[in-house]
Amino acid sequence: MKQRKRIYYSPEQKALIWERYKKGDSLHDIARMFDRYHSSIMPTIYQTGGYWPPDRKRHPQSLSLDEREEISRCLVSNQSIREIARRLSRAPSTISREIKRNGGLKCYRAVKAEQRAWDEALRPKPCKLIGSPDLCKLISVKLKRAWSPQKIAGWLKRQYPNNQEMYVSHETIYKTLFIQTRGALKKELQQCLRTKRAVRRSRTSTLKGRGLGQIPDALSISERPASVEDRAVPGHWEGDLICGSKNSYIATLVERHYRYVMLAKVEDSKSSTVIAALIKQAQKLPSELYKSLTWDRGREIKDHRKFTLATDIKVYLCDPHSPWQRGSNENTNRLLRQYFPKSTDLSVHSQQKLSSVARQLNERPRKTLDYETPAQRFSQCVADID
């Protein structure tokens, strides 16, 4: 088999690669445009950590390549610096400095001068974390505790309200992790991120959904009381199953008001098994803190009427293909994948392990709670009931 010649992408091709990547296309799809494999696209994306490098622009007052070539021609014809300056409508001092810094009257070359100007214009702004070793150490500790960069940034502002030196945006943390040339945070800390990615991924990159079963006597989410929508009243929950290998599952529950998380071990996805686990979880809470449950249209909730009879809690089902109607639960399931990766056997985890993971999530500050923790909000609700 004849080996294909190595391809070098032009600036226009690289711009097209970045445009497609930001739209959410996979590396495989982008590579097919050039009849290549995804490995030929990876260096372009990974070199800058998935961030589209900004286009370099010349200052309007800088000398152009055409002007430098004119300077070179004039020097060959022995014209004076003032004559050259008049031809280019430039100050004689500008022409003089340009010639001196690029080899003098006899060694001046336009192309070399142009390249030198571009090279010297590279003055990247130093990353804030470079000069803040204490801040780097604190961020590293929080990352190892599975805090997201956004939570770390919000917590720092709350913890140090009068010290702006301790402020850093979550995007700076991400960039420092993904662009290793910054040299402030170790590459190993990428593994502390939930996705464990090494590059920034496009927000529009997503997976297609799949059809869900029909549930008898279902209460549509459109019938849910309007007071549930604004999250002002506690006690309304969202739930789902996360799936692992070997038909293993975990039931996840999230309260809409204070984002409190509960996890339940289930042996399988049979409706009777799931409903029994949900009833057991519901009995752990005061009735004031468990008023409704919103679920998707998976077959595991088919016996929802048994749950309502046992707990007096109504179950509302989302519309087909509408996971955003359980936004808090979907976001929580994504957080849980850091602890329970896809394609792993979830049956090996005990209920004690699940409760420990739930406790970690409940003790993390949340941006939506003004960087309080769900555990703090939950304790306040319990105290108000008592």
H or E, element range at 73 = helix 65-76
Q: What percent of the chain has pLDDT over 70?
A: 95
Q: What percent of the chain has pLDDT over 90?
A: 43
Q: pLDDT band at 88, cuts 50/70/90? A: very high
Domain boundary among 192, 208, 235: 192
Domain boundary among 173, 192, 211: 192
Residue 198 in any domain: the answer is: no
Do 156 and 264 belong together in one domain?
A: no
The answer to the question of residue 205 being in a domain is no
Mean pLDDT of 245-262: 93
H helix runs in 121-247, sequence order: 133-144, 149-159, 170-178, 226-229
Q: Which of 113, 103, 379 is nearest to 255 (CA)?
A: 379
If asked whether residues 113 and 252 sit together in one domain, one would say: no
* DSSP labels, 274-327: HHHHHHHHHTTS-GGG--EEEE-S-GGGTTHHHHHHHH--EEEEPPTT-GGGGH
Query: Sorting pLDDT into bands at 50, 70 and 90, what band is 208?
Result: very low
Residues 6 or more apart whose Cβ sits within 8 Å of residue 239: 251, 252, 253, 254, 278, 293, 294, 295, 326, 329
Tell me, what amino acid is at 152? I
Least confident of 82-86, 120-124, 308-312: 120-124
pLDDT tens across 21-56, in order? Answer: 888 888 888 888 888 888 888 888 888 888 888 777
CA–CA distance from 153 to each of 184, 187, 340, 364 (Å)?
A: 16, 19, 25, 13
Q: Are residues 282 and 303 in the same domain?
A: yes
173 and 98 within one domain: no
CATH of the domain at 243: 3.30.420.10
For residue 18, the surrounding DSSP H or E stretch is: helix 11-22
Q: Which residues contact 124 (CB under 8 A, 6 or more apart)?
A: none
In a domain, 53, yes or no: no
Q: How confident is the model at residue 214 (pLDDT cuts 50, 70, 90)?
A: low
Tokens for 229? 């929508």
Does residue 144 form part of some domain?
Answer: yes
pLDDT, greater one: 40 or 181: 40
Is the same domain home to 144 and 74? no
The pLDDT of residue 207: 42
Mean pLDDT is lowest, of 121-130, 153-162, 187-196, 292-301, for 121-130
Section 285-308 average pLDDT: 90
| pLDDT for the residue 123 | 67
How confident is the model at residue 360, as a pLDDT? Answer: 94
The pLDDT of residue 165: 86
- Are 236 and 266 in a shared domain? yes
Whether 4 has a pLDDT exceeding 70, the answer reads no
Q: Does residue 223 sit in the same domain as residue 183?
A: no
| 254 within a domain of the structure (yes/no) | yes
At 206, the pLDDT band (50, 70, 90 cuts) reads low
At residue 232, the pLDDT reads: 84
Kindly report the length of the chain: 386
Give exposure, 43-63, as e/b (b: 16+ Cβ within 10 Å): ebbeebbbbeeeeeeeeeeeb
Write down the pLDDT at residue 151.
92
Is 197 domain-assigned?
A: no
**Quick one: pLDDT at residue 84?**
92
Dist. CA 332–CA 147, nearest whole Å: 13
Residue 78 CB burial class (10 angstroms; 0-12, 13-18, ≥19)? exposed
Q: Which pLDDT score is estimated for 124?
A: 65
What does the pLDDT look like over 261-294, one tens digit per residue?
999 999 999 999 999 999 999 998 888 899 999 9
Q: Which two tokens stand for residue 200?
A: 């920034």
| 276 and 367 inside one domain | yes
328 pLDDT above the threshold of 60: yes
Residues 177 and 280 in one domain: no
Look at residue 52 and tell me if it is in a domain. no
Number of domains in the chain: 4
**Domain range enclosing 103:** 65-120
Q: Based on the fold, state whether residues 255 and 312 are members of the same structural domain.
A: yes
Position 212 in a domain: no
Based on the fold, state whether residues 266 and 366 are members of the same structural domain. Answer: yes
pLDDT band (50, 70, 90) for residue 204: low
The mean pLDDT of 69-76, rounded to a whole number, is 92
Considering the chain, what is the average pLDDT of its residues? 87
Strand partners, 243: 249
Residue 234 and residue 371 in one domain: yes
